[in-house]
Structure 1
Amino acid sequence: MSTRWYPRYAKGNPQLRVFLPNFFMKLIKPDAAQPPNVVQFIVSMEMSKFDVKNYLEKIYKVPVDSVTTYNKMGKTKRATVGGYIIKDDDYKLAYVTLPKGEVFEFPDLFPEEKDVEFEKQKEHLDTLKTEWNQVTKKNQNRKGVPTWLGL
């Protein structure tokens, strides 16, 4: 649930005209293998199947064939201090089925181009380390004295 509460109408004051949904949807990777046209979301507990379908169709313009929701209980665990039991919040899972022919693929967050850039930065870091080691070898007999304080 969002913290966006619309103010009461007061005579003479302009009304707030921003109509944003008070719901959230979080795309998650499923634990088990799913068909290519099924997408899994964690949604707000107040959302119904109809709300999920409208949210995706109206805001993101994604065609939706069907929606199945499932309320899941939060995990329980024992506290390290005190030994009492802690329970996480419950949440709702929504399985959205896209029409036939539609395929959902997760976006590639780590493309190969960034790997090349990372390797260049790693090589540069290695050269800086070797230079630093050469400078510190000169001053091994002066431990604790900064290198800029030369004689």
Structure 2
Amino acid sequence: MKWRIKARFAPLAGLLLAAALLGGCGGDYGPDQHGNPVSAKTLDKHWLVVNYWAVWCGPCRREIPELNALSQSLQGQGVRVLGVNFDNLQGEELSAAAQTLGIDFPVLAQDPAPRFALPRSQGLPVTYIIDDQGKLREQLMGEQTAAGIKARLAALQGNGN
């Protein structure tokens, strides 16, 4: 009799365990391209520039140096640049792809789209600007420049939308 009760509640127990494990990670963002954990406290309450890229995307490849420069220029200003591989590469594949493209900013192995309710783009590259409250503020389609993104950030931060 005890076994039947346990077996009947096994799916519920599994869901509860999964929720506890996910809840216990404090809302962290998962590992970066080097396998290092990206904690929520390093990104939350910051403006985020989240760029989706792929190795096969020519404009993505051209845009990476601009994003590297943007990331460098924004250090200490409450804005973080993050990458996300469109093809969901993981582990060594993600690390190798990021290295091949010369990406210097963190690349998240776990897609943050659900966290910020980001729409799935049909084209690449696509860059999302998320404010310090976690609200999507802008979707930028196509190849971007550091100057262009900085101008959009300044406009969004200055007008209080």
TM-score over 0.5 for the alignment?
Answer: no
Q: Normalised by the size of structure 2, how large is the TM-score?
A: 0.22
Relative contact order (C-alpha < 8 Å, sep 6+): which is higher?
A: 2
Say which one has the larger Rg: 1
Q: Normalised by the size of structure 1, how large is the TM-score?
A: 0.23
